[in-house]
Amino acid sequence: MNAVVNSEFSLSGQANSWRRFLPMAGIVLAHAALFYALQNGLISHVVKVMPEEVVMTFVQPEKPVTPPPAKIVEKPVSLKQPDIQLPVIPTPVVNTPPAPHSITAVVNDTPPPPKTDAPVVVSAAPTPPAPATPKSVSAVEYLRPPRPEYPSLSRRMGEEGKVVMRVLVNDKGQAEKIEVHQSSGFPRLDDAARVAIMRAVFKPYHEDGKALAMIATATIHFSLDS
């Protein structure tokens, strides 16, 4: 039993010693190979065999130069027609006889007689009869008597008076034109009297059974007592 153990122990010790010796043996072999190479000049041969350093320079290619566009000069082309004179071909005159039932126009070369300036007679339009002058009537009657409005400002100012007017009355009894013949002295009273006459309706004036226009005299009184 002890012999077996001792043999195993001896084998393991030899293995460990070999493991330690292998690195040392490799180093020694490497040095020996280096020394041999130096002696025989193998290292210098290897250095000579190595390629030398190559320097490469990249040159940018030049841009192509584009020539400027050529100018096109247009020359005017003169279109002249050749002077060609066409021959004059006489037109033949053919006398054709008139067809039956044809109408021949006779041209009279005699100039017409000169026109004489005859007097132009213009008949004058009948003159309308002049309108009859309205007759003046002093005493008038009303179909709708005037109702004058006393101005409030005239009452406060104490204005009063009489307004006499000449009125043109048409055939329908309506006042067409009013003129103040005698003023009251106050414009407000005169205006109020004129408005009252314009709103009134007169009795038309009749002559021979026909209504006519007339000139009437109308009087309006303004009194503070009334």
Evaluate whether residue 89 is within a structural domain.
no
Residue 88 counted as domain residue: no
Instruction: Decide which of 62 and 215 is more confident.
Output: 215
Q: How many domains does the chain have?
A: 2
Is pLDDT larger for residue 55 or for residue 103?
55
**Which two tokens mark 165?**
């007017």
Instruction: Share the mean pLDDT of the chain.
Output: 74
Which of 144, 149, 142 shows the shortest CA–CA distance to 192? Answer: 149
pTM above 0.85, yes or no: no
Is residue 142 within 8 A of residue 201, CB to CB? The reply is: yes
Which range marks the domain in which residue 174 is found? Answer: 135-222
Residue 123 contacts residue 201 (beta carbons within 8 Å): no
If one compares 192 and 62, the residue with the highest pLDDT of the two is: 192
Question: Is 92 among the domain residues?
Answer: no
pLDDT band of residue 203 (cuts 50, 70, 90) is very high
Tens digit of each residue's pLDDT (9 = 90 or more) over 15-26: 666 667 777 778
For residue 23, is it within any domain? yes
Per-residue model confidence (pLDDT) at position 28: 83
Percent of the chain past pLDDT 70, that is, above it, reads 51
CATH number for 146: 3.30.2420.10
Angle at 169 between CA 165 and CA 175, to 5 degrees: 70
Domain membership of residue 165 (yes or no) is yes
In a domain, 79, yes or no: no
Per DSSP bridges, beta strands 205-207 and 175-182 are unpaired
Write out pLDDT tens, residues 151-177.
999 999 999 999 999 999 999 999 999
The three-state secondary structure class of 179 is: strand
CA–CA dist 171, 205 (Å, integer): 7
Taking the alpha carbons of 190, 195, 198, 203 in that order, is the dihedral positive or negative? Answer: negative
